Structure 1
C-alpha cells in the first residue's frame, strides 16, 4: 500500500472518527474503521492498519477497573477459542479474493447493527457458560479471521452473562485486546502485511486517541443512547454498501 498525503489524511480521519465513536459509546473503533478503510484499501490492509489503534485503546479499556483477574478466570475458554478461530480463519482475510471478504464484512456489519438495535436482551445461564463460551469464542474467531471484525457474537454473549456495567466494559476491552493480538498473529502467519502498513498503523494511534478524548468530551454533553442509534444505523448503511457494491460492479 503506497502512502501519499491524501491517503494518509483519509486514514487519519477514519481513525479520528472511529475514536470519537469509541469515546462516546465504549466500542466500535475496529468495527467502524474496518468498514470505512475497506472503501479505500483491501480488507487485509485495513485489518493491519487497525492493529495498533485497536490494541492500545482496548488495552487502556481493559486495564481500567478491578475485575481483570476474575474476568480472565471466567472468560478464558471464550478467549482461547477466539484465538484458535482467528488463526484458523485468517487465511480468508489475507486471501486473494478481496471482493468476497468485503461482502462478508458488509454482512457482519449489518448483522451487528441489527442485533444491537432490535434483538431482545438475552440471558445466558451460568451453567451454560462452560460450553457456550468456547463455541461463541470459536465463532467470533472465524468471523474475525474472515472480516477483521471481532464483535459478533462475542459482544452479545458478554452482554448476556450478567456482568455489571464496569465489569462488562472491562470484559469488552479484554476480549477485544485478545482478538486484536490474535488477528495480528494470523495476518503475520499468512504474510499479509508489510512494514509500511505497520508504520501507518502506529501513526494512526494519534488520531484514534485524540478521537477517544473528543468522544469522552461529547459523551458528557450528548445523550449516548441517541448517538449510539445513529452510529448503528450508519453502520448498517455502510455494511449494505460493502455487501452490495462488489455484486453491482460484477
Structure 2
C-alpha cells in the first residue's frame, strides 16, 4: 500500500499514540499493540514498515531512561546481537512469502503472550544454568518473531523474568534488543526496496506521535495503578487476536 487516505493516516496516528502510551506505562509493548491494529487495516508487512520509525524512537527513549545503562548493556549485550541476526532473517522471510499467514502467526504470538503466566508451571531452571546459550536462543527467536510479525517480546520476557533481574535492567535490555532489531529490519527493508518514500513519509510523523504517547504513558505510570489498565489491555489484545484470525480466514 503506497498511497494512504486521510482516514487511514489519522487512525494510524491514534494507534501509535496509544501504543506509545502503553509502552511508556509498562516499559515495553509498543509493537504488541500497534502492529495488530495496523495489520487489520493493511497487512503485517505494511504494518511493520509503518511502525519502523515509531518503534526505533520509543525503544531508544525507553532504553536511555532510568540511568545505569552501561551495566544493563554490559551484562546482556549478546541477547541484542542475536536479536539483530534473527530480525534480518525474519525480515527476509516476511518479504519472500505471502503476508496473510503472518496475521495468524501474529494472533498466535499474542495468545502466547497472554497465556504467559501459565509458563511458570514449566521448569525453566536451564535458563539460569546456561544463561549465555538460553539468552542467545531467546534473542534469535525474538528476532525471528520481530522480523516476521513485529512481536518479539514474549520470548525475551520469558528469558529475563526467569533470570530474575531488576525491572529497570529488563526494560533497558529488551529495548536495546528491540532497537538493534528494528534498525536491522529497516536496513534490510531498504536494501530489498520495500521501504518506499510513501512509507517513510508516513512513518516519520508516526514516530513523533508515538513519542508523545510514550511521554504520556510515563507520566501516567507515576500517578496511577497499572493493574486495572493491564487488565483492560489484555482484553483488547484478546479481541485483536480474534479479529486477526477472522481476517486470515477471510483472505484465504
TM over 0.5: yes
- 2:4 aligns to what? 3
Contact 1:23–1:211, Cα closer than 8 Å, also in 2: yes
Taking only aligned residues, the RMSD between alpha carbons, in angstroms, comes to 2.0
Contact 1:86–1:183, Cα closer than 8 Å, also in 2: yes
CA distance in structure 2 between the aligned counterparts of 1:189 and 1:159, rounded to whole angstroms:
35
Give the 5 Å matches for 1:111-130.
Answer: 111-115=112-116, 117-120=117-120, 126-130=128-132
- 1:235 aligns to what? 237
Contact 1:44–1:193, Cα closer than 8 Å, also in 2: no
Q: Does 1:20 align with 2:21?
A: yes
Contact 2:31–2:55, Cα closer than 8 Å, also in 1: yes
Contact 1:104–1:243, Cα closer than 8 Å, also in 2: no
Cα drift, residue 128 of structure 1: 1.1
* TM-score computed with the length of structure 2 as normaliser: 0.90
Give the 5 Å matches for 1:1-250.
Answer: 1-115=2-116, 117-120=117-120, 126-250=128-252
CA distance in structure 1 between the aligned counterparts of 2:148 and 2:40, rounded to whole angstroms:
17
Q: Residues 54 and 195 from structure 1, CA distance in 2 versus in 1: closer, same or farther, beyond 3 angstroms?
A: same
CA-to-partner distance for each residue in 1:50-106, whole Å, 9 max, x for gaps?
A: 111111111111112343223223223222211111111212322351211111111
CA distance in structure 2 between the aligned counterparts of 1:2 and 1:108, rounded to whole angstroms:
29
* TM-score computed with the length of structure 1 as normaliser: 0.90
Tell me how many residue pairs correspond in the alignment. Answer: 249
2:41 aligned counterpart, secondary structure: coil
2:100 aligned counterpart, secondary structure: helix
CA-to-partner distance for each residue in 1:94-141, whole Å, 9 max, x for gaps?
A: 2351211111111111111221x4432866654411211111111111
Gaps of 5+ in 1: none
Contact 2:25–2:220, Cα closer than 8 Å, also in 1: yes
Contact 1:51–1:184, Cα closer than 8 Å, also in 2: yes
Cα drift, residue 248 of structure 1: 4.2
CA distance in structure 1 between the aligned counterparts of 2:74 and 2:166, rounded to whole angstroms:
16
Moved over 4 A (4+): 121-126
